[in-house]
């Protein structure tokens, strides 16, 4: 008889203490690659969320009273704690989310550590200004102050790094946080919270409440005890968050579909490899993924052939195996959306050149083979929506004007890419593309932690900017002070 190992049960972290849900209910953390239950987690209620908000309200006064250098040191200590536990963090991340341990999970841990380190440094140089005025006896200057208590809701695709984009900036600027991570990747959130406690961050400065976003997330967004909201996720959910948080400052990083324009003068080897990286990193589960590949007829054939070659090099399999370069999708709705978008494109006349679909023989129905679609109509669902899976849809544009028109179609406008050797053409596209970021001769997935990241106005890709000091500016109030010297 095989002895069953008892599963660990984890609670919420409220006011610096681990506590169970007030309902006593839990939910399972499940490995998407195997279906194995990894642990049990507290299923949060509205009352749990309210307790966390109360703890954050107490903590915000202490945080605001700390010096900039004190808060900088707190961020540095969290980075050091994560460094001590980085192997455990990477393994938990791979098991919980499904991304390959050796090629992606370890890298995400390193980026997350860097995020805390950069927060520690950026806050020390977040300067404000003295403003010249007409009145000779007046002196006017500005300071930045924390907003108070932040409601933070984070997604499952980068469940370690994305939270730190908010948590690091919040702690550095003196905001307290109530954090609700995605339910399907809450185990790695618990492990991050353990590092935060080990770093001796003040109790209540960061509170973790696991459980459904429709309950916990909704409560922390709408509750008058939170002063501002940070959210990364789909455009549809972002609209709901904005409505529930009416009147509060919002920092929303929402969906994208990464229009990638490959012009006829591009370095094709660079363009193909970079675009494939944009399509297949994290099994395509990236808000900046290259989900529309717009090409000139002159280079269509070699681009498609190159994408086929890159897709065939991918090794789909056990995320813990060294040879694996792509793991499973994180959840069933994402796989179902892949099926739906591929079927719609084929019904509209697209050609399937690399057959995708589920690969349950690998141990889970969430394994999904890389897919290349050719001659996709510009009005197909895969062209206009966020697919969020391992897909490379190729669209033909006759000239630069048509390529720009197709790239600007739809309601999303997060990141785009253009491949060309012409500086003139690069500038022409960069100034006209309706995305918050335009990467020239690199993947839509290129980003560094200090670069401003967010969507274009008039699109449904978010409000505000994440990244380094830009997040800190979003998460603080700019106060103007005038002094009369008479």
Query: Does the annotation count 195 as an active-site position?
Result: no
What tokens does 331 get? Answer: 């959840």
Nearest by Cα to 186 from 163, 168, 203: 163
Nearest by Cα to 279 from 404, 359, 382, 367: 382
Determine the 3-state secondary structure of 260 from DSSP. Answer: strand
Query: Does the annotation count 448 as an active-site position?
Result: no
Q: Are 437 and 106 in contact (CB under 8 A)?
A: no
Q: What is the CA radius of gyration of the chain?
A: 23
Considering the candidates 13, 165, 287, 386, report the single residue annotated as catalytic.
Answer: 287
- Quick one: DSSP state of residue 366? T
For 456, residues 6+ apart whose C-beta sits below 8 A from its C-beta are: 413, 414, 434, 435, 436
Measured over the CA atoms of residue 85, residue 91, residue 95 and residue 98, the dihedral's sign is: positive
Nearest by Cα to 256 from 225, 286, 294, 219: 286
Helix (H) or strand (E) holding 277: helix 268-280
- Exposed, middle or buried by CB within 10 Å (0-12, 13-18, 19+), for 74? buried
Considering the candidates 104, 108, 253, 310, report the single residue annotated as catalytic.
Answer: 253
Cα–Cα distance measured from residue 288 to residue 295, given in angstroms and rounded to the nearest whole number = 19
Query: Which residue has tokens 């006349």?
Result: 349
Cα–Cα distance measured from residue 293 to residue 278, given in angstroms and rounded to the nearest whole number = 10
Cα–Cα distance measured from residue 240 to residue 255, given in angstroms and rounded to the nearest whole number = 14
- Please give the backbone phi and psi of residue 278, each rounded to the nearest 5 degrees, phi first: -65, -30
List b or e across 198-221, with b for residues whose CB sees 16 or more CB atoms inside 10 angstroms. ebebbbbbbbbbbbebebbbbbbb
Cα–Cα distance measured from residue 471 to residue 452, given in angstroms and rounded to the nearest whole number = 8
- Exposed, middle or buried by CB within 10 Å (0-12, 13-18, 19+), for 322? exposed
Q: How far is CA 266 from the centre of its chain?
A: 29
Q: Which residues are catalytic?
A: 253, 287
């Amino acid at each position: 008889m095989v002895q069953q190992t008892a599963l660990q049960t984890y609670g919420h972290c409220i006011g610096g203490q681990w506590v169970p849900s007030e309902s006593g209910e839990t939910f399972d953390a499940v490995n998407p690659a195997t279906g194995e239950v990894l642990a049990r987690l507290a299923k949060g209620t509205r009352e749990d969320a309210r307790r966390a908000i109360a703890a954050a309200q107490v903590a915000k006064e202490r945080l605001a009273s700390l010096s900039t250098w004190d808060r900088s040191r707190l961020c540095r200590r969290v980075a050091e704690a994560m460094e001590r536990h980085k192997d455990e963090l990477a393994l938990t991340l791979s098991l919980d989310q499904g991304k390959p341990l050796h090629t992606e999970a370890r890298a995400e841990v390193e980026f997350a550590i860097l995020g805390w380190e950069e927060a520690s440094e950026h806050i020390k140089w977040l300067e404000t200004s003295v403003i010249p005025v007409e009145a000779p006896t007046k002196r006017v200057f500005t300071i930045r102050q924390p907003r108070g208590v932040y409601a933070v809701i984070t997604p499952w695709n980068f469940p370690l790094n994305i939270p730190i984009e908010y948590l690091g900036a919040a702690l550095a600027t003196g905001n307290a946080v109530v954090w609700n991570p995605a339910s399907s990747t809450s185990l790695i959130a618990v492990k991050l919270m353990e590092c935060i406690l080990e770093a001796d961050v003040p109790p209540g400065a960061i509170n973790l409440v696991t459980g459904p976003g429709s309950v916990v997330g909704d409560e922390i967004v709408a509750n008058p005890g939170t002063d501002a909201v940070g959210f990364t996720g789909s455009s549809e959910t972002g609209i709901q968050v904005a409505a529930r948080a009416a009147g509060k400052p919002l920092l929303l990083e929402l969906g994208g579909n990464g229009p990638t324009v490959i012009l006829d003068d591009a370095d094709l080897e660079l363009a193909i490899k970079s675009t494939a990286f944009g399509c297949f990193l994290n099994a395509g589960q990236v808000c900046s993924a290259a989900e529309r590949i717009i090409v000139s007829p002159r280079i269509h054939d070699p681009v498609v052939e190159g994408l086929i070659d890159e897709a065939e090099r991918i090794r789909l399999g056990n995320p813990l195996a060294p040879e694996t370069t792509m793991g499973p999708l994180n959840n069933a709705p994402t796989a179902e959306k892949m099926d739906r978008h591929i079927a719609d494109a084929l019904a509209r006349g697209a050609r399937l050149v690399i057959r995708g679909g589920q690969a349950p023989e690998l141990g889970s129905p969430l394994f999904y083979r890389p897919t290349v679609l050719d001659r996709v109509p510009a009005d197909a669902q895969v062209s206009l929506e966020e697919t969020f899976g391992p897909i490379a849809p190729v669209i033909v544009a006759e000239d630069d004007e048509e390529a720009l028109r197709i790239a600007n179609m739809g309601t999303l406008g997060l990141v785009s890419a253009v491949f060309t050797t012409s500086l003139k053409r690069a500038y022409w596209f960069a100034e006209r593309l309706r995305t918050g970021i335009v990467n020239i001769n690199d993947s839509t997935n290129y980003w560094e932690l200090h670069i401003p990241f967010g969507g274009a106005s008039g699109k449904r890709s978010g409000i505000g900017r994440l990244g380094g000091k830009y997040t800190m500016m979003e998460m603080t109030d700019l106060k103007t002070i005038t002094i009369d010297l008479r």
